[in-house]
Amino acid sequence: MGLCFKSGNSVILRGGSEALNSNIAIFKAIEEVIKKNNLPRGVINLIAAKDRRAVDILVKLNDYIDLVMPRGGEALIKKVVSLSRIPVIKHYKGICHVYVDNYANLNMAQNICFNAKVQRPGVCNAMESMLVHRAVAAKFLPGMINRFKEAGVEIRGCRLTKKIIKGEVKLAAEKDYRTEYLDLILSVKVVDSMDEAIAHVNTYGSHHSDTIVTDDENNAREFLKKVDSACVYVNASTRFTDGNQFGMGAEIGISTDKLHARGPMGIEELTTYKYIIFGTGQIRTV
């Protein structure tokens, strides 16, 4: 709400029914502040109805609303996108990858992967899938998987991962590579090439945040160019995808769309353009 106020936008809020009483209490407190500061009453509104059909009606009011920003589960976002007559910016799921290249510094790769998965597994910029080049898999995976297991991470790996790791690794199904776990669960796949890694990211990822760990500049540039995500990293954790970390200040979310906002959305992404022209009688002749 603070970003909406600061960018000059009024806002309509509609939260989940399970938090309705809390939302009403917060809304009333904000209303008091608005009243004390002589701000227009309509700068903030709350839809207090529990009926989910309220959303169906709201997203069709394109004469009154400029933008819809659904925050919640995949089903909600898909529903809003399918019904809305208003432009929608999706803050979609974060199926983020780290690819460990055959030219990676493996100590660095281990620290990056561990941070990306374990520091805060329940956030959208946490790693959900780790890809490892076949050339370094036998050397990299045993120590990495052991470190994950010590932190309580459940591993779901491809057949080659299971072959390399003789211990307890569940066989990954295809749906695992499409899943945002938001938990201490990780899918692992060994790939034959960087091209296979890129194809996997673009097929199974959510265009959020993806990393390559490599000391090869050409591979880094190729990954940056071909991975179709809002934030693409070289030798850094996906956990940095955040408005504050990017120096933008507060954010309203991470957009996985391409227009008009992409990546962390700060105050600038809640504004648009107006062209103002002063003249002294000019007329167009061509």
Calculate ∠ Cα 148-152-156, nearest 5°: 65
Which string of DSSP letters, residue by residue, matches 105-131?
A: -HHHHHHHHHHHHHS-TTSTTSEEEEE
Tens-digit pLDDT profile for the chain (286 aa)? 788 888 989 999 998 888 999 999 999 999 999 999 998 888 999 999 888 888 999 999 999 999 999 988 888 889 999 999 999 998 888 999 999 999 999 999 999 999 999 999 999 999 999 999 999 999 999 999 999 999 999 999 999 999 999 888 999 999 999 999 999 999 999 999 999 999 999 999 999 999 999 999 999 999 999 999 999 999 999 999 999 999 988 888 899 988 888 999 999 899 989 999 999 999 999 9
| pLDDT for residue 17 | 85
Nearest to 5 by CA among 271, 281, 221: 271
**Cβ-based neighbours of 132, under 8 Å, separated by 6 or more:** 99, 100, 140, 141, 161, 188, 189, 190, 191
The pLDDT of residue 74 is 81
Q: Taking the CA atoms of 269, 19, 54 and 74 in sequence, report the sign of the dihedral they define.
A: positive
- Kindly report, as residue ranges, where domains of CATH 3.40.605.10 are found in the chain: 2-91+252-270
Give the single-character DSSP code of 52: T
Domain 96-240: top CATH class: alpha beta
Domain 2-91+252-270: which topology?
A: Aldehyde Dehydrogenase; Chain A, domain 1 (3.40.605)
CATH 3.40.309.10 residue spans of the chain? 96-240
In angstroms, the CA 43 to CA 94 distance is 31
Distance CA 140, CA 215 (A): 15
